[in-house]
């Protein structure tokens, strides 16, 4: 099984593509990588952790 070669993308090209993209991706060393979506439970956990951190930092 072969994989496609990575194509270098400039930071400007990445930002332009990301603004129009339906799905999020990350950019590292000139290559775009697809990101998986977060689940509802993941988002709830993140919100709870952030809320707790805010309370502890007051």
CB under 8 Å to 6, separation ≥6 — which residues? Answer: 30, 31
CB under 8 Å to 15, separation ≥6 — which residues? Answer: none
Q: What pLDDT does residue 1 have? A: 57
Q: pLDDT tens digits, residue range 24-51?
A: 899 999 999 998 888 999 999 999 999 9
CA torsion, ordered 48, 50, 53, 54, to nearest 10 deg: -110
Within the chain, strands assigned E span: 25-28, 31-34
Given a cut of 70, is residue 15 above it in pLDDT?
yes
Q: pLDDT tens digits, residue range 3-13?
A: 666 789 999 99
């Amino acid at each position: 099984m072969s994989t496609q070669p990575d194509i270098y993308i400039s930071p400007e090209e990445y930002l332009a593509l990301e603004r129009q993209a339906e799905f999020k991706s990350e950019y590292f060393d000139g290559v775009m990588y697809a990101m998986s979506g977060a689940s509802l439970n993941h988002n709830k956990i993140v919100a709870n952790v952030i809320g707790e951190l805010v309370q502890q930092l007051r």
